[in-house]
Amino acid sequence: MQPCQTVDVESSSLLARALRVLLGPAANRIRAEREVPELASVGVPPLFSLSPSPSLVHHLSVAGYDHFRYFLALPSQRIPRWLLPVAGASGMLAGTEIYVPYRWAPRMLKSMVIRMAKMGYVDCLCPRVLLASKGPLRLETLVYEVTGERHPIFALSLGRRASVRKLTVQVMRPQTPNNTNREQSHTPHHLLGYVKLPLTDVASERVRHEAATVERLWNFPSLRKHIPRVLYAGDWNDTYVLFQSPLEGDIGPTYLNGMHEEFLRLLWNVHRIEKPGKTLIQKVAAKWEKVAPLLGAKWDALGREVLVRATRVISDKVLPFSIMHGDFAPWNTRVRDRELLLFDWESADWEAPTTWDKSHFEVLTASSLGKSSRHQTFDVESGGTFFMLYLLNSVCQFLEEENYRAISYRQRLLIEQLH
């Protein structure tokens, strides 16, 4: 864990930008107590500090600030991935649920934080982030209007991909007999839901798409226990916000099994159609034409070869299409009562081949977790054509995310399939 030190706000621009989205466009950043009189003279905006000191907090209190919330930035303020509430051991422990890592290094970091919190070393952890306001934050007001909770506790997570980054807020209610001294309680916390606040235009489009998708899926009773519910969605605080109910359960398995198959059948049954193969080829080709010039000559040749082969093999066939989650992966699943729960619907497609979600799962677990892949078993009849079209389609999505490692991996898979 890094020692406490003063951190220049400019070096933590990502964190500062995320906090402005959380607090609102009027939010100010503050470095030292000498800035307090100037800020107090222009109104009562919320403030944040990446190097809070007792002296600064004292000056803010004198200026009328009465709500102070402290967070721990991990793994650092320069590379922030998550912010945990410094609200006693139980608040920090509950906040760690916002991040469920599958790789070894992040799991070790999370394990270390949990051990330190359980041992009572919360006050020793640095670096700190302070949010201060006069009265509740706007997000706290929204949470109260939706859930009735007046004293929510937040944990925050920032995505990894800059172009589609969003701030995700885990909203919690302490399980206490009364509201007194809530944030010092060591009793379990009740999870109220998750708020998504996009930090880019592309992320905003995805969050809006997710809200519309989940609301539409909620119309099918068979899916309701498997998906989150939209508690609130709309323009808010000069951005767009999506507030969803939580899906609590065990970490989803890293191998496809009967639970995945059963859920996918439920998903396909609520919206299943048949279309000629040329419809799929045209859809993928339209996306590919937009991105191929950005990938170079080798990719252009690969794409053309895939589309030519697909035209020859499946163009005249009638194929089943249905809803695709779009990011069907272990980290987007939970298991409760031996049933699969699925969240993060921002990449959903209402008319996609029924094999694509399983192909996505296999490719991601193979590339990210080193699992063996069985993708060819889903696509025997077409000689791998559906799988190659999936790879080409996913490259378009990963280019938008600037995930070049994923693109390179799919290029290798396509070459293997073709040759």
According to CATH, where is 3.90.1200 located in the chain?
251-418
pLDDT at res. 185 = 40
- pLDDT exceeds cutoff 80 at 25: no
The helix-helix angle for 404-418 and 356-369 (nearest 10°) equals: 110
CA dist., res. 120 & res. 125, Å (int): 10
Confidence at 290, pLDDT banded by 50, 70, 90: very high
Q: Which residues contact 71 (CB under 8 A, 6 or more apart)?
A: 83, 84, 85, 86, 128, 129, 130, 131, 156
Give the pLDDT of residue 380.
Answer: 56
* Residues whose CB falls within 8 Å of the CB of residue 266, separated by 6 or more in sequence, listed in order: 222, 223, 226
Percent of the chain clearing pLDDT 70 (strictly above): 87
- The letter for the amino acid at 75 is P
pTM: 0.88
CATH architecture assignment, domain 251-418: Alpha-Beta Complex (3.90)
- Alpha helix (H) residue ranges in 218-355: 258-270, 277-291, 297-314
Predicted confidence at residue 116, as pLDDT, reads: 75
Token pair listed for 292: 């191929």
